[in-house]
């Protein structure tokens, strides 16, 4: 978590420095735009994190570990991929839920598969946006082409963890 914070802070310092050298960039407008994006999160994120904490407390750890823990292997990765595909909502829902699942014992490869499926497959977005706007012909082709991505991402995450632990 600290590495992510430091990385974003360094990136922020870099773009502020680069923007300072340009006359067509207004720092006030940039700060105002950032505040406009941050303000809704200040009310939603604490509620989502609290809800995720309660979900983590309600989920029986043994059950979650058996279904999608590290030892669940490929079956757990497939189950997590399915859960990610049907998980509704945006990042304000999915990431706190992912935190709760991780706290409940879901393995990292399974969580990678879940978040990848949520990002790539997202059946709620397919039904509400993709099919009505682009059509079923495109949607089913994209879904079929994307089906393997989440399980492959989970397997790659598993492999990376093996490599890091062994070597």
- If asked whether residues 79 and 147 sit together in one domain, one would say yes
pLDDT at res. 126? 92
Q: What's the rounded Cα separation, in Å, for the pair 164 and 156?
A: 12
- If asked whether residues 35 and 102 sit together in one domain, one would say no
- If asked whether residues 108 and 154 sit together in one domain, one would say yes
pLDDT at res. 22? 81
pLDDT at res. 120? 96
pLDDT at res. 119? 95
pLDDT at res. 26? 83
Per the structure, the count of domains in the chain is 2
Sign of CA dihedral 149, 118, 101, 43: positive
The range of the structural domain enclosing residue 16 comes to: 1-46
pLDDT at res. 37? 84
User: Can you point out the beta strands (E) in 15-137?
Assistant: none
Segments of the chain with pLDDT less than 50: 167
pLDDT at res. 88? 83
Asked whether residue 69 is assigned to any structural domain, the reply reads yes
Distances in Å between the Cα of 68 and the Cα atoms of 37, 38, 77 are 34, 33, 7
pLDDT at res. 1? 61
């Amino acid at each position: 978590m600290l590495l992510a914070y430091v990385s974003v802070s360094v990136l922020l310092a870099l773009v502020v420095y680069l923007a300072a050298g340009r006359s067509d960039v207004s720092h006030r407008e940039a700060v105002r735009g950032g505040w406009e994006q941050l303000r809704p999160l200040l009310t939603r994120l604490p509620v989502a994190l609290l809800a995720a904490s309660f979900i983590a407390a309600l989920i029986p750890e043994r059950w979650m570990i058996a279904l999608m823990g590290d030892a669940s292997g490929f079956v757990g990765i497939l189950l997590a991929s399915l859960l990610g595909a049907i998980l509704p909502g945006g990042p304000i829902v999915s990431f706190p839920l992912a935190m709760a699942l991780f706290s409940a014992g879901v393995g990292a490869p399974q969580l990678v598969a879940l978040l990848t499926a949520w990002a790539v497959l997202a059946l709620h977005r397919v039904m509400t946006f993709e099919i009505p706007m682009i059509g079923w012909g495109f949607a089913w082709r994209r879904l079929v082409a994307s089906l393997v991505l989440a399980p492959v991402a989970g397997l790659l995450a598993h492999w990376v963890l093996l490599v890091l632990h062994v070597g």
